A and B are shown apart, each in its own frame.
Chain A
Amino acid sequence: MGLLTVLKKLKQKEKELRILLLGLDNAGKTTILKKFNGEDISTISPTLGFNIQTLLYKDYKLNIWDVGGQKTLRSYWRNYYEENDAVIWVIDSSDIRRIDDCKEELKKLLDEEKFAGASFLVFANKQDLDGALTSEQIAKYMDLESLSTHHWEIKSCSAVTGQGLEEGIEWVVNDIISRCFILD
């Protein structure tokens, strides 16, 4: 194979990234995706299984797997653990009552070996709500600081206003490409 062909091929392949989107039910996962994509967010139903959404960001094609977060679905999450470039964990920052539940599910996820090497973003969503915890409070409560197994970042956002979404996605994409083999 000639050098140019290889380069071209490489570029094409590398531009497709696989990202897993998880979090408790009602966190706002599906809303984040639809909002980012400029679709209507007022008629989204709670996710019954999963859906795959392709987002185009800069030159990248992001295949995002959005898996429903209801209790009855959580044991199926593991079916989606393979081969992700990044994991995005979405939190309803106003849901203080279930924050322990959230912390526990997150901990289980981080212990999962299949995510070794994946970039890890936490979206502290619903920042537009009065009762929302700040991303600092969440990072502290969730013990993210002590997390050394992953490249991680927490970003506050609101899927309703759109604030913070792009910054989050940008971090994910940059973090993935800085780790993967990229030829300029």
Chain B
Amino acid sequence: MNNPNNNGNNKGSSTLDSISKEIEDRDEQRKLQQLRNKEIHQQTQIDLSNSNNITKCINEINQLEKEIENELQQIDLSTSSKDSTTTPLTIDSIKNTFNDIEHKIATMSLLLAESNHFLPLFEIKNLNLTISNVQKNTNTLKDKVIPKQKFSFKRAAKSSTPKVTNNTTIDTSIPSPAVAPLVDNESIFDNSNIKGFNGKELVYPPTATTSTSSSSDTINDLLISNLVDCKVILKMKVLTACKINNIKNCTIISHSPIDGSIFIDNCIDTTFSFSSRQIRIHYSSNCRFNIFVKSNPIIEGCNGIKFSSYPHRQLQLTDQDYSRFMQYNFDLININADTEKYKDVNDFDWLQTKPSPHWELVKEEQE
């Protein structure tokens, strides 16, 4: 790309020749590079298949885990200790350490993914557990020490949205569970957020807005986070995007189609019933997904995930509900190309053909 275009138009053919040569060279280079990339890829695979690497891989992952646990401990000490002999770390250096830790966790997952095909099954399980544990510990500590409001762009404010704030639900005398959510005990229940509840049953959208159907129609971006022991029922017309994180021991059920993706992160012991275009599940364990989905669900950094079909009959959808689903091309009743999609789960930590140990199909729950 170093040939400037400031040559006049009337240059002789020698310039043209050299330009066209340059282009050919460039193409040649690209081809070579592609070949080289392929070779490199093959090489790393061959290297990893060497059996010596079993111990090497395990050691490396364990080593990374040790480093991370050390770093976490240091942060924890420096932020929780009241004794003045330890110098407190600055927020920047804490953030840096977390970045470093997250990088290490990603490396661990990658190492494991690359080694799946030669590691014994029980090692894979162990290592997976190791990784999801450090991930959990990291998230917990991070939520504890880094102020929640990292930066404050306001959501494009819907001025008419009443905010049903509920600060009384959280009984602070109960010791918080091992999950992060309750550290930040602000509860929000409005059109775009369900956040920070413990032991509640919540029906969405907030009743204050369901009466004005126009506003509940325009809901298109919902964030569900920091819930423990809750039941959440979604009953909007349709939702375009949904993000869910930091959930423990909850049930989340949607009676309406989600015409976009559901992005799930850091959830445990929770049951979800959904229908959507995409379902993306990250760093979660022991969850159940009863779903109708129009593409392959994916999991990453997960363990103990169960998949089953969307229980539309148990939910006792009305004819009106069904036609709303149909309106967004979710055909729940007739057998069609989407009916069995929920079974084709892609596990990003499992790139081989035998079944992933991180998830399984289960029968639909009977009443």
**Chain A residues in the interface with B (C-beta under 8 A):** 1-3, 6-7, 9-10, 13-14, 18, 25-26, 42-46, 48, 70-75, 79, 82-83, 85, 94-97, 99-100, 104, 117-118, 126, 128-133, 137, 141, 160, 178-184
Contact = CB atoms under 8 A, between A and B. Distances in A.
Contacts of A44: 277-278, 295
B121 interface: no
Interface size class for chain B?
35 or more
Nearest to B263: A26
Interface in B298-340: 298, 300-301, 329, 338
A128 B346 contact: no
A45 B20 contact: no
B13 A6 contact: yes
Contact of B158 (A9, A95, A130): A130
Contacts of A43: 277, 294-295, 338
Contact of B153 (A1, A104, A137): A137
B17 A72 contact: no
B280 interface: yes
Interface stretch (B22-30, B181-189, B356-364): B22-30
9 contacts: A42-B277, A43-B338, A46-B346, A75-B110, A79-B41, A82-B34, A104-B99, A131-B156, A131-B223
B284 interface: no
B155 interface: yes
B243 A97 contact: yes
Interface stretch (B1-9, B62-70, B79-87): B1-9
B184 to A, nearest CB: 13
Given A26-B280, A48-B346, A181-B5, A6 B243 contact: no
Given A94-B241, A129-B221, A72 B106 contact: yes
Contacts of A72: 106, 109-110, 113, 300-301, 348-349
Nearest to A78: B37
B286 interface: no
Given A7-B16, A18-B30, A104-B99, A75 B106 contact: yes
Nearest to A141: B151
Contacts of A42: 259, 277, 294, 329
Contacts of A181: 3, 5, 7, 19, 22
A158 B6 CA distance: 37
A19 B23 CA distance: 17
Contacts of B5: 178-182
